[in-house]
Structure 1
Amino acid sequence: MDFCFATFAALFLLFSAASCAPAGHSLHDACAAVQRSSLELNHLAKGVSVEARNGSKHMGTFTTNLVWMEAKDMCDPESLRQKSEPCISKIHDVLMSYNSLMKRLEQFSSCARFASKVMPAMHKLHTDMSKCVNAITGVNPHKHISNEETHPMMPRWEQNLLCRYTLDRLFSFSILTARVFAVGDPAHHADGSAQKCL
């Protein structure tokens, strides 16, 4: 009898590990939706980044006022297990920054089709992130996505550079977001779990 129970328990743990979910933890929490929407944004961002790069004939660097993720934001698995709020809040702020800039890029004829592909996924991720931030921190983040300040009209070649630059950075950001939320609630990262899931 003990052998049968031990076998059943071992199989249960094996199936739980295979699903990348910590044993006994349900992903049906406030952050589970971020897991799916972050992967969707990552998939779309990769596609439009490659498309924009292939369509551009101009080379160069371009900078913007985008908010950046930094090492001090504590998005490594150990920090996430101990205190996930700083990382999650910063990801939310960076997402707001991208939302604002993508609204600007929608106005550029050379970038409108790329922006329109990722905007629905970004809005979905923003909605899911707001719920997650609220569940983890108890603070309801700003639901309004602010518009970037008015900018003078740019020459088309600069618009192309800004578009490509932003889409490349969005793709990188989407990779980080997908990894942080690979297990749903980032506080449930186990050693190596994010690598197993992605």
Structure 2
Amino acid sequence: DSKSQNATPVSRVTHNTETGEEELELRVAELVQAVLDRAAHSALIRPLEPERHQPEYPLTQPDWGSCRDFTVERGRARIEDYMRTWEIHPSWRYSISFLQERELDFQKQFLYRALWGRPTSRAPIPRSTAAVYFIITAPKTRDPALPVEVRFTVESNRTLHEPGRTRFREKWLQDVIESKALLIDSVDF
């Protein structure tokens, strides 16, 4: 059964004050890794399909830079530049975090998370947030003057998107936040 092969193991996090935070951080890191691995796996299985019924607006993207010149800070700045091109309501707020750098055989991967929320005057700290994960890849086998490769995925979605090929939808963020709100409302504490 393919679902049981791809399922992320569920572990219980203890609430011991000495080790609870460490275990929680470890579990969060495992979940982020599982999301990124599933997204990368599904991209190999399902090629990105062009979106249908798109208005003919130009898709813009920043100059991501070459493999040679890439740094963690440059990646963060380019992600921020790219997200500014998204056509979303100005009430959305975000923070960008660098998660990790992975050294693979033929490439380096830089993983970032943009955490989105919609604060209001009644709730200045959003009840739920939605994460957009960015994977910036610098291949070691290509000419270092060539640009890095950039892909992103929205939390709880398996599709990998490429800047310049996919138009970001505000609805993706709203769907994640609404599903979290439904889950929170259904759990009794």
Give TM-score, length-normalised by structure 1: 0.25
Structure ID, larger Rg? 1
TM-score, normalization: structure 2? 0.26
Report 1 or 2 for greater relative contact order, CA contacts < 8 Å, sequence distance ≥ 6.
Answer: 1
Q: Which has the higher strand share?
A: 2
Higher helix share: 1
